[in-house]
Amino acid sequence: MPQKTKHTPMMEQYFSIKKEYPDAFLFYRLGDFYELFYDDAQQVAQLLELTLTSRNKNATDPIPMCGVPHHAAAGYIDTLVEQGYKVAICEQVEDPKTTKGMVKREVVQLVTPGTVMDGKGLTSKENNYLTACVTENEQFGFAYVDLSTGEVNVTSFLDKDVLLDEASALQTKEMVIVDLDETLQVELTKRLGLVFSTQDILESRHEQLETITENVQRQALFLLFSYLERTQKRQLDHLQIPQVYQPEHFLKMDHYSKANLELTRSMRSGKKQGTLLWLLDETKTAMGGRLLKQWIDHPLITKRAIEMRQAQVEQLLTAFFERIELIEQLKGVYDLERLAGRVAFGNVNARDLLQLCHSLEQVPAIRNSVLSLDQTVFQELLTELSPLEDLVALIRGSINEEAPLQITEGNVIKTGFHAQLDQYRDTMRNGKQWLADLEAKERTQTGIKNLKVGYNRVFGYYIEITKANLATFTPPEYFERKQTLSNAERFITPELKKIETMILEAQEESTALEYRLFLEVREQVKQSITRIQALAKAISTLDVLQSFATISEQYQYVKPVLTNEHRLFIKEGRHPVVEKVLGKQEYVPNDLIMEEDTMISLITGPNMSGKSTYMRQLALTVILAQIGCFVPANEAIIPIFDRIFTRIGASDDLIAGQSTFMVEMMEANQALQHATKNSLVLFDELGRGTATYDGIALAQAIIEYIHEHVKAKTLFSTHYHELTELANTLPHVINQHVGTVEEDGDVVFLHKMMAGPADKSYGIHVAKIAGLPESLLERATTILAELEATTPVSTTPTPVAVEVIEPIEQLDLFTEDSSVLNELEHLNVSMMTPIDVMMQVVKWQQQLKE
């Protein structure tokens, strides 16, 4: 902000408004443009590639300035918000024609990444969530809203990791906070690129909060609604009653596990393709696509609810012709959720209402398709599938099918809807004939055959006579001279004035009346928002269910049997996404059988043989089962899991400054701390990020800990063949390996799981497949033979007593140099990067050698 000097009243007004929105670009309305000044202008000119000019160019300190046309501003605002900025839209709230002095201006909306309502900032099949978080007595209150659909949810929890998981699952763009821990803010920003906003907690929208009893949840909702009221500055009648949920009421997966399993985003591209969502998405509506993603992020854990979805999918799967009809009907349904939001928000146009009407007209046929199925499993959906005939009649009777995008330009309301409007239109139509008749009459009376009646915006209607004709013609007294041109004279007459008044008044009044009538229609539609939202929920649910049925039929999935016992039985299981990519003929299915008393399966085999795929396919099969879909297998009996933990694939977390091994240990710790006997744990080559003996010791200790304490179903793949001996000492551990065939020195991976441990790792054979030089491979074979000849044969490892932590022998070295031990004791590892730690260890090694 510049130093306080003498400014024009307009700039003083600008400063007072900008002061209220220091963290937003202020789009200040001046006539047909939005103007930006000072720092806003300099930044926006660069971001949007606009020409930077200046106000008061001849002044000592000219004001930097840039602007965008009012009619094209939406695109520019979308671009800025998409980049994470906020835009305050300041409008003229008085008519300049009727105002003396400075026109009053106000910010009518603050557009932020979390409050986008339309435009390119929204993706049709993705939600755009704004979240709010408060802390109270070491408890987090967490609420979120999709302003474009009106969905509102609230929860509370004690663990900050749950906050990270929930925010990651929602892919929230913006979070409103009060005194949130700065370290947690940094972590959220690194993971999600969040925009943080602050807001005082104001007790508002009490009617929305009657059912919320927990104080920290109410505080989170107060914070959320306060922010919406401050930024949107209008009634938000489409906001639904907040739904209270608890994360533990769904199958829980932390953000690491969801990333590893590629549920909604590919680890390689960050996009949808190649994910479980990509596989399952045969939805035909935008709202169905959004609901599908929500179901994938929050699988169910209640057997009855899952089996209800299964029964609905089964009905749609077997009723082929009814399903095909339903799919065609769903294609005609627009995004009812966001249309309802636009109605409430006040930015709906005539074409939006026609889309709403067209969508509602599909409902009777959709309802009939569902009625032809087993009504007992669709009863709740049928209750919500209301055709809303009154809205259809209102919109069809009032809105012109050829209505323009702008609702202030006329031709929006149908003829026959309003008597006064029809009279105005009749006047405008007759006015053209009146003008033609007047022109013909004056030509006859004057004898001038090329006399014409014309119109322009400055002078209105006129009679034009060329100067060549005026040389022989004297205008009658009722001709009043209006304008002289180089080659003609223009006149008006009392009769022409009368016709002009009637036509222009009809045009002006007609347009104003149409606008008022449209607002009345919109208000009537607004009264039915709750009914539209209930209908949208039913249709989107049907859409997801038919998508499950379509996929299950296409890929020959089976309905899994769900059990509360601990037996896991999958016959001829497949990885659903890999199968789609390769084709069913190319994919090798595998059994996965873990009886009631089997807790851990140790999987050995070479790289590239399919161990990771085998583990992922189990997790995805479980998720498919618990969202109510059929699963890729010939037969499946699956226990209902409460959590899934994964450590699959090696990757550094460079954003957080953590090495592969650190990430491995953190993810392993999550499982060991939070898994229950009803959880599923998948560890792929855990411990390979450190020295061999360290890795074996840690892996064995983890296996024993899970066996003795956690007791969860666990798949543990490893290259440490020494660990396979644990099946001889731990009663609930079994061995599996990936089958191979070796002929003439070449190895073929069968991608088939077999009982027992693998006899080799085949690492050199994998290197051969990768195309390493032949001489290098021969040398590696020679070295391997020498190592195998000199290395003692491993014996059965001694089980580690998990409760007793023995000091590591290597620490005895530190007794020779107390300075090293002293440095280690005071070292703040949490503030160091992996490189810093490595350099420090090298330094200590040198000290000890000396």
Give the residues across from 198 on adjacent strands.
177
**Containing H/E element for 88?**
strand 87-92
Question: Would you state the structure tokens that stand for residue 138, as one six-digit string?
Answer: 């070491």
- In whole angstroms, what is the distance from residue 787 CA to residue 472 CA? 122
54 annotated among ligand-binding-site residues = no
610 annotated among ligand-binding-site residues = yes
657 annotated among ligand-binding-site residues = no
Q: Are 24 and 87 in contact (CB under 8 A)?
A: yes
- In whole angstroms, what is the distance from residue 563 CA to residue 549 CA? 22
Give the residues across from 464 on adjacent strands.
452, 490
Angle (nearest 5°) at CA 105 between 104 and 111: 165
Provide φ and ψ at 406, rounded to 5°. -80, 130
Closest CA to 587 of 555, 628, 629, 565: 555
Angle (nearest 5°) at CA 348 between 345 and 353: 130
607 annotated among ligand-binding-site residues = yes
Q: Which residues, 6 or more positions from 71, have their beta carbon under 8 angstroms from its beta carbon?
A: 32
- In whole angstroms, what is the distance from residue 172 CA to residue 661 CA? 29
Q: Are 89 and 71 in contact (CB under 8 A)?
A: no
- In whole angstroms, what is the distance from residue 261 CA to residue 277 CA? 11
- In whole angstroms, what is the distance from residue 364 CA to residue 667 CA? 51
Q: Which residue has the tokens 């296996």?
A: 703
Closest CA to 121 of 87, 77, 151: 77
606 annotated among ligand-binding-site residues = yes
What is the residue-wise DSSP string for 698-766?
HHHHHHHHIIIII--EEEEE-S-GGGGGGGGT-TTEEEEEEEEEEETTEEEEEEEEEES--S---HHHH
First vs last C-alpha separation in the chain: 61
- In whole angstroms, what is the distance from residue 123 CA to residue 271 CA? 13
612 annotated among ligand-binding-site residues = yes
- In whole angstroms, what is the distance from residue 315 CA to residue 498 CA? 71
Binding positions are: 605-612
Q: Which residues are annotated as a binding site for ATP?
A: 605-612
